[in-house]
Amino acid sequence: MIFKINIFAFLVIFLLLILTTIISFRCKKKFIRLIKKLKEIQKIISESFNYSDLNSLLNFVADSITNLLNAEKTLIYILNQNTQILQATIDNIKIHLKVGEGIAGYVAKTAEIVNIKDAYKDKRFLPLFDQKANFTTYTVLALPIYDTKNNLIIGVVEVLNKKYKKIFTKEDENILKTFSSTLGGILSNIKLCGDSKELFESFIKSFATAVDAKDPATKGHSLRVVKYALNIAKALNLSEKEMNILKYAATLHDVGKIGIPDNILSKGERFTEEEYEIMKKHIEITKEILNQIHFPQEYIDVQFIASTHHEFLDGSGYPNGLKNEQIPILSRILCIADIFDALTSYDRPYKPPYSLEQSIQILKQMADEGKIDKEILGLFISKKLYQIERREYVRINRQVAFSWSKLTPEEVRALVSSNLAKTLNISHKGLQFISKEELNEETYLEVELYLPNYTINVIAKVVYCKKEETDEYKVGICFVNLSKETEKFLDQYLTLT
Ligand SMILES: [Fe+2]
Ligand SMILES: [Fe+2]
């Protein structure tokens, strides 16, 4: 009996031992798995700080969650607080849901976690994503994303289809909860940065527009200077931060012209000495205006760069006669970009535009005299960084048949209409097209535009010619002698049809 009891006791103890081993082993396994997942989350979160724009961050996070939970897709909805509409963008598909609509809308409304086994049997489910992406949703795990600081729901994360036809577990819920609380913090930060950046950019642009309004003669000048300057900065491999400073400084460099009297600004001839002195004051005014703007810390140099664009390396510039290393590289770039545009501009009332060759010659002479940076200028010329789209008006993406041929040979006439080309885009000022042949800037073309029932003959000037990857050339031409009436006619045709 004792023996029997002993055997029984032994069996019970043995079974208990096995059971506890199994349980502890399973717990341990679960624990290890959880730790592993948490480590993964940590890694994803630290990597997510590399993304400064919302879309790429959201894509990265969605992919990471999909992997983390062994699922097929993850949708991250962002809630617009004003419209109360949730929007998710995935694989270039946009999905909009009102709060209350669909699973995500339900989660946004109730703040509940939703874990469903069969989506199509759930009344709340709307197959919007399925229809657009040709996808079939089975299981869904969805929960709200909080801006914990303000205790506000700012989005919903929706994970679809646990792999191998499994269902989402409590463990999955916990992992996703951990993840989404941190995600909430990151998102609200990014959104805040994004908002203030947008505000800042629009503010700066509106300033530049104000200068244009004041001085129509130099319309588009600041914009073109931005393009030249950024071309140089790119060629010099400058950092993103430097490029941004340069962009803002170039946009704002002449903002001080707002304070120059109209009769001087729009004077149709050369300035007198006195007028020139007044004109020079635009720098000080620029400086003053920019002093009033609160720049984010990383753009604090914008004011200095913008207000030193007329300083020369030999100290002969204005307003402070700075020299050599006192003039930072961004100011040197801005100075060259500014002079080049002033030289080549058609719209300066006091001077005719210089040709590309003449302008380069003048700049080279200035470099020889030690006024502007020789190396930067060398790069500007050798890499043809002056090739930018100079036309600032709206072009319409429309194909109009037209022909072109070089004007110089006598057989020009015979060649016209043999070169039937198609425009890439066209306005009443000029057009773009693809040419097999390289066309030098400053080349004049005789162009015939074939509109229905009407042919326009016009002389055009090649303003830029860029080699494409296809070994063809993208050519931009400007109409030179289009009469006002024809211009109007063409504009109307392009706008109304
Ligand atoms: Fe200026
Ligand atoms: Fe300027």
Per residue in 220-274, pLDDT tens? 788 889 999 999 999 999 999 999 999 999 988 988 887 788 788 777 677 888 8
Residue 274, burial from CB neighbour count under 10 angstroms (0-12, 13-18, 19+): exposed
Select the more confidently predicted residue: 248 or 217. Answer: 248
Distance CA 96, CA 283 (A): 49
Tell me if residue 86 falls in helix, strand or coil.
Answer: strand
Give the residue ranges of DSSP H helices in 125-220: 128-133, 170-214
Contact 208, 251 (CB under 8 A): yes
Pairing of strands 454-467, 473-479: antiparallel
Question: Residue 35 Cα, ligand 1 centroid: separation in angstroms?
Answer: 61
State the pLDDT at residue 59.
83
Question: Residue 194 Cα, ligand 2 centroid: separation in angstroms?
Answer: 30
Question: Residue 452 Cα, ligand 1 centroid: separation in angstroms?
Answer: 46
Quote the distance between the C-alpha of residue 229 and its chain's center. Answer: 17
Q: Is the predicted pLDDT of residue 209 greater than 70, yes or no?
A: no
Question: Residue 375 Cα, ligand 1 centroid: separation in angstroms?
Answer: 22
Count of residues in the chain:
497
Task: Give, as one character, the DSSP assignment of residue 320.
Answer: S
Q: Is the predicted pLDDT of residue 13 greater than 70, yes or no?
A: no
Question: Residue 257 Cα, ligand 1 centroid: separation in angstroms?
Answer: 8
Task: Give, as one character, the DSSP assignment of residue 219.
Answer: T
Mean per-residue pLDDT of the chain: 80
CATH topology of domain 401-496: Thrombin, subunit H (2.40.10)
Q: Is the predicted pLDDT of residue 24 greater than 50, yes or no?
A: no
Contact 156, 107 (CB under 8 A): yes
Mean pLDDT of all residues in 422-445: 87
Contact 410, 356 (CB under 8 A): no
Tally the C-alpha atoms within 13 A of residue 192's C-alpha that lie toward its C-beta.
8
Q: For 53-67, 159-173, 205-219, 389-403, which range has the lowest pLDDT when averaged over its residues?
A: 389-403
State the pLDDT at residue 210.
65
Contact 245, 305 (CB under 8 A): yes
Question: Residue 440 Cα, ligand 1 centroid: separation in angstroms?
Answer: 30
Question: Residue 395 Cα, ligand 1 centroid: separation in angstroms?
Answer: 29
Tell me if residue 254 falls in helix, strand or coil.
Answer: coil
CATH topology of domain 215-382: Hypothetical protein af1432 (1.10.3210)
What are the structural domain ranges in the chain? Answer: 28-193, 215-382, 401-496
Q: For 168-172, 209-213, 258-262, which range has the lowest pLDDT when averaged over its residues?
A: 209-213
With cut-offs at 50, 70 and 90, classify the pLDDT of residue 174. confident
State the pLDDT at residue 265.
78
Return the CATH number of the domain spanning residue range 28-193. 3.30.450.40
Question: Residue 338 Cα, ligand 1 centroid: separation in angstroms?
Answer: 7
Tally the C-alpha atoms within 13 A of residue 367's C-alpha that lie toward its C-beta.
20
Q: Is the predicted pLDDT of residue 404 greater than 90, yes or no?
A: no
Question: Residue 308 Cα, ligand 1 centroid: separation in angstroms?
Answer: 9
With cut-offs at 50, 70 and 90, classify the pLDDT of residue 203. low
Question: Residue 45 Cα, ligand 2 centroid: separation in angstroms?
Answer: 45
Contact 348, 217 (CB under 8 A): yes
Distance CA 142, CA 323 (A): 63
Q: Is 28-193's fold the same as 215-382's?
A: no
Question: Residue 317 Cα, ligand 1 centroid: separation in angstroms?
Answer: 11
What phi, psi does 263 have (nearest 5°)?
Answer: -65, -25
Question: Residue 237 Cα, ligand 2 centroid: separation in angstroms?
Answer: 24
Angle between helices 356-368 and 329-344 (to 10 degrees): 140
With cut-offs at 50, 70 and 90, classify the pLDDT of residue 96. very high
Q: Is the predicted pLDDT of residue 212 greater than 70, yes or no?
A: no
Provide the whole-model pTM. Answer: 0.47
Question: Residue 357 Cα, ligand 1 centroid: separation in angstroms?
Answer: 23
Mean pLDDT of all residues in 344-349: 67
